[in-house]
Amino acid sequence: MAEPALQAWTEPALQALTGPALQAWTGETTLQAGIVAVYLTVALAIGLVAYRVTGSDAEDYYLASRSIGTVVLLFTTFATLLSAFTFFGGPNVAYAFGPEWILVMGLMDGVLFAVLWYVIGYKQWLVGREHGYVTLGEMLGDRFGSPALRALVAGVSIFWLFPYVMLQQVGAGQAMAGLTGGAVPYWAGATAITLFMIAYVVVAGLRGVAWTDTLQGVFMLGVLWVAVAWVVSSAGGLSTISTALAESNPEFLALGGAPAAAAPYSVQYVVATAVTIAFGVTMFPQINQRFFIARDAAVLKRSFALWPVMVLLLFVPAFLLGTWAAGLGVAVPEGENVLPLLLVEYTPLWFAALVVAGALAAMMSSSDSMLLSGSSYLTRDLYRPLVDPDASDAREGWVARAGVAVFALGSLAAALVQGGSGGLGILVDIGSTAFGGYAQLTLPVLVALYWSRTTRLGMFAGVFGAQAFYLLHVFAPAVTVGGVTLLGDAYLTWDFALWGMALSLALTVGVSAVTAAAPGEDAQTFTVGAD
């Protein structure tokens, strides 16, 4: 899915902190740089504390020995997933199309992902605790007795994850250039932030990353609600804002009222986007791996029960601010982001600087989790089974740390080659469609977890077939045969990503139904008792 609204997930990482509005805040540059410096210092201090209690084995490094409690689990998932989009993408969509995006993100995805967290995440936690699994690929490869399936799942996951890490580095490099008025060039900023993240993640592991995410999540919630109160007060109250919105954008006050040419809020669009994002998020490595880390079942159940509340607490103020900016007549030049411009006009510059610098910190809170997860897939699913099957836990732990550096430096190279000029090409296409790519994995995994008749060939067919279908639709041009458009954006008005998901389900179930279990498969692997 590459519609403009969904691209808001990736584009803020490229442009959020680089526009003229930021460059005009010359009096606040020192403050912004100071806030970033304080964040980096605090993060490093947390990382050093985490290092003192982190073991040398891979399970403790990647999963904090499955010891995470409710508050930290909830906030690390929260901050990892919702950082840059919350500050920029969400308000931009609400400004352009109206507040109904809350139906996709605040309600539908808040509830859908919570349900998937329960249905898939809880079962993964039970299986992972029983067998000591660290990654999704390891779990599936063991169940189906197939290193090849393990490598396929890891390869698909890394393919969609790599450009996301790269996009964060591009955003960080451009942000540092903007914050310093060009004194720190793009390449130096991206490199410096990357080297810091390598050092931090190598030292901190999942435990330190989760602790830092918790602070970042609390910050995100606090600053957005303070911004709402400040804008309401400065603009003359809610009644004044509502009146202005009714006069300037009356369609924003009616469900589905925005013109079809301007807004994407058709039933097909809302449903397809909500489903694709929710199902895709479930397979994001940095999110899926968090299904393994809860201390006990009670922690896990409290976390997914509270998730919809957390999403509403975050997205309601973000989307309100974007919607209000439209009514208040805030002008947003092309390529700019509405939230900084609104805050500059209605709050003190120091507060706007705080939010912008905090957004850079939020990007890093996502990037460190991505690096850690990418390293785990490289190390656990590719290095261990294919290179050194007999590696000790301690050796794998050190290789894992090396994997962080390899993954980060590889994505930095891509960022430096393509990102400085803004010509990101195919990597942006991959990043902007990653949710749909990950969503193609979800139903085969769900079937495997709950249907003991699932076979190795069925999993290969479901995963490979759906990925091939989806990639063709993303990268191959549409063709018309006999008046029928193939490889187009939609079939029967429904997005091709949904059809790919349906194909993944049909292939997994259909091929499994007509094939027998291969040697090495063990259906009992996923037979675990509920807590």
Q: What is the mean pLDDT of residues 433-439?
A: 90
Output the pLDDT for position 505.
Answer: 98
Q: For residue 314, tell me if it sits in a domain.
A: yes
The segment with the largest mean pLDDT, out of 43-52, 165-174, 466-475, is 466-475
Pick the range with the lowest mean pLDDT from 226-230, 257-261, 289-293. Answer: 257-261
CATH, residue 29 = 1.20.1730.10
Nearest-angstrom CA–CA distance, 272 and 436: 10
Nearest-angstrom CA–CA distance, 470 and 480: 18
Q: For residue 469, tell me if it sits in a domain.
A: no
Q: Which residue has the higher pLDDT, 163 or 150?
A: 150
Q: For residue 217, tell me if it sits in a domain.
A: yes
The segment with the largest mean pLDDT, out of 50-64, 371-385, 400-414, 437-451, is 437-451
Residue (of 407, 437, 433) closest to 156 by Cα position? 437
Counting the structural domains of the chain, the total is: 1
Examine the pLDDT at 123 and tell me if it is beyond 80. Answer: yes
CA trace torsion 366, 75, 102, 109 (10° rounding): 90
Q: For residue 435, tell me if it sits in a domain.
A: no
Q: For residue 330, tell me if it sits in a domain.
A: yes
Output the pLDDT for position 9.
Answer: 39
Examine the pLDDT at 439 and tell me if it is beyond 60. Answer: yes
Pick the range with the lowest mean pLDDT from 123-137, 158-172, 447-461. Answer: 158-172
Q: For residue 479, tell me if it sits in a domain.
A: no
Give every CB contact of residue 37 below 8 A, 6+ residues apart in sequence.
Answer: none
The segment with the largest mean pLDDT, out of 28-42, 229-243, 325-339, is 229-243
Output the pLDDT for position 426.
Answer: 61
The segment with the largest mean pLDDT, out of 37-41, 309-313, 332-336, 352-356, is 309-313
Q: For residue 161, tell me if it sits in a domain.
A: yes
Output the pLDDT for position 497.
Answer: 94
Output the pLDDT for position 25.
Answer: 46
Nearest-angstrom CA–CA distance, 66 and 78: 18
pTM: 0.89
Reported as a single tens digit per residue, the pLDDT across 187-198 is: 888 898 888 888
Q: Could you list the residue range(s) of the whole structural domain that residue 60 is in?
A: 21-422
254 phi and psi angles, rounded to 5 deg:
-120, 130
Q: Which residue has the higher pLDDT, 336 or 407?
A: 407
Query: Six-digit token pair at 516?
Result: 């027998």
Examine the pLDDT at 305 and tell me if it is beyond 90. Answer: yes
Q: For residue 193, tell me if it sits in a domain.
A: yes
Output the pLDDT for position 181.
Answer: 66
Examine the pLDDT at 226 and tell me if it is beyond 70. Answer: yes
Output the pLDDT for position 158.
Answer: 93
8 A C-beta contact, residue 404 and residue 372 = yes
Other beta carbons within 10 Å of 522? 12
Q: What is the largest CA-CA distance in the chain?
A: 71
Q: What is the mean pLDDT of residues 89-113?
A: 82
8 A C-beta contact, residue 107 and residue 273 = no
Task: Please report the beta strands in 244-338, taking only residues with DSSP state E, as ranges in sequence order.
Answer: none
Nearest-angstrom CA–CA distance, 424 and 421: 8
Output the pLDDT for position 255.
Answer: 66
Pick the range with the lowest mean pLDDT from 49-63, 287-301, 488-502. Answer: 49-63
Output the pLDDT for position 431.
Answer: 63
Reported as a single tens digit per residue, the pLDDT across 237-247 is: 999 999 999 99
b/e code 36-46 from CB counts within 10 Å (16+ = b):
beebbeebbeb
Examine the pLDDT at 443 and tell me if it is beyond 60. Answer: yes
Output the pLDDT for position 13.
Answer: 38
Q: Which helix (H) or strand (E) holds 60?
A: helix 58-63
The segment with the largest mean pLDDT, out of 236-250, 412-426, 453-467, is 453-467
Examine the pLDDT at 6 and tell me if it is beyond 80. Answer: no
Output the pLDDT for position 529.
Answer: 80
- Rounded to the nearest integer, the mean pLDDT of the chain is 84
